[in-house]
Amino acid sequence: MKNETTLTEVEVAGDAKKMTSGTVSQKIAIVTGAGSGIGRAVAERLAAEGAVVHLVDLNADSLAETSRRIGGVAGTHVLDVRDADGWDALLDEVMATHGRLDVLANCAGIQLTRGLLETSIEDFRQVMGVNAESVFLGTRAAVRAMLPAGQGSIINIASNFANIADGLNTAYCASKAAVAHFTKAAALDCAQRGTRIRVNSIHPGCIATPMLEREIEDVAARRGDPDTSAVRAEWDALAPLGIGTAEEIAWTALHLASDHSTYTTGAEFVVDGGHIIR
């Protein structure tokens, strides 16, 4: 079937009229980690393109700030993404309100910049819990909700550290590789059930968010240098295109959420300014 796409003029809160393809218009979406960085940018982009967005994060104030920036959203939900019962309650609420779920973007995550010998088992479990277990829980809950319609898009934010190793990020690398491979297995399962539920991962490089800022400050402090500019310059030099923005990740998430990617599943989208090809 031919997929007709037309550009439509829409009102965007607090902004002039913008052109949008309308490909996520009225889609019901959940975005985790929506209080900051990439999750906030993804939520803003989806909402600007007409999606009905539910925001999830740990912190009510940061959720309220994202909602304010968007100009109102369908719901804000304080949820620790490691909480299986919390996921079930969230999906029950979304399904009771809208009758369906079209998009889940798993963006919540934490980073621990530690080498192998500095990483305790508690550290490792925490990073795996927030970054990888949460993606399993969210994907499973979303697929259950999407099964009646037999379609939907799940977008898991991994990292280019799923593809290249970094000795300073041992637990983090493990968690992101887990997300990437889990994504492929989940995509296969959904396809083999005869559904059009698609599951894909995005692999950002260095992106200017509070997470990256904390990492730069942490590394500079451990080098005993209060000035972060040397570390920042090193990080900027990692990719030929330098440090990217959360909005640049959000455009890829929009593509995967939209009907422009209906034949894409189990795929890795590396969005890292050329870091991994160096």
Do 272 and 203 meet the contact criterion of CB atoms below 8 Å apart?
yes
Number of residues forming the site for ligand NAP (CB under 6 A) = 29
Q: Which of 53, 81, 154, 216 binds ligand NAP (CB under 6 A)?
A: 81
Q: Segment contacting ligand NAP (CB under 6 A): 52-60, 144-152, 191-199, 224-232?
A: 52-60
- Is residue 51 close enough to count as binding ligand NAP by CB under 6 A? no
Tokens of 27: 């889609």
- Is residue 26 close enough to count as binding ligand NAP by CB under 6 A? no
The whole-angstrom separation of Cα 230 and Cα 253 is: 32
Residues 6+ apart with CB under 8 A from 119: 112, 170, 171
Do 34 and 56 meet the contact criterion of CB atoms below 8 Å apart?
yes
**Cα 42 to Cα 47, 104, 155, distances in angstroms:** 8, 11, 11
Q: Segment contacting ligand NAP (CB under 6 A): 10-18, 23-31, 104-112, 163-171?
A: 104-112
Element (DSSP H or E) covering residue 111: none
Q: How many CB atoms lie within 10 A of CB 9?
A: 8
Overall residue count recorded for the chain in this entry:
278
- For the bound state, the minimum distance from the C-beta of residue 204 to ligand NAP, rounded and expressed in Å, comes to 4
- Is residue 31 close enough to count as binding ligand NAP by CB under 6 A? no
Q: Which residue numbers are catalytic?
A: 172
- Is residue 33 close enough to count as binding ligand NAP by CB under 6 A? yes
Contacts to ligand NAP from residues 128-167, by CB under 6 A:
130, 157, 159
Taking the alpha carbons at both ends of the chain, their separation in whole angstroms is: 40
121: which DSSP letter?
H
Residue closer to ligand NAP by CB (options 147, 276) is 276
Q: Segment contacting ligand NAP (CB under 6 A): 20-28, 86-94, 101-109, 225-233?
A: 101-109
Which among 179, 243, 194 has a CA at the least distance from the CA of 215?
243
Contacts to ligand NAP from residues 178-237, by CB under 6 A:
204, 206-207, 209-212
Q: Segment contacting ligand NAP (CB under 6 A): 75-83, 84-92, 112-120, 223-231?
A: 75-83
- Is residue 107 close enough to count as binding ligand NAP by CB under 6 A? yes
Q: How many CB atoms lie within 10 A of CB 46?
A: 26
- Is residue 262 close enough to count as binding ligand NAP by CB under 6 A? no
Task: Give residues in contact with ligand NAP (CB under 6 A).
Answer: 32-33, 35-39, 57-59, 62, 80-82, 107-111, 130, 157, 159, 204, 206-207, 209-212
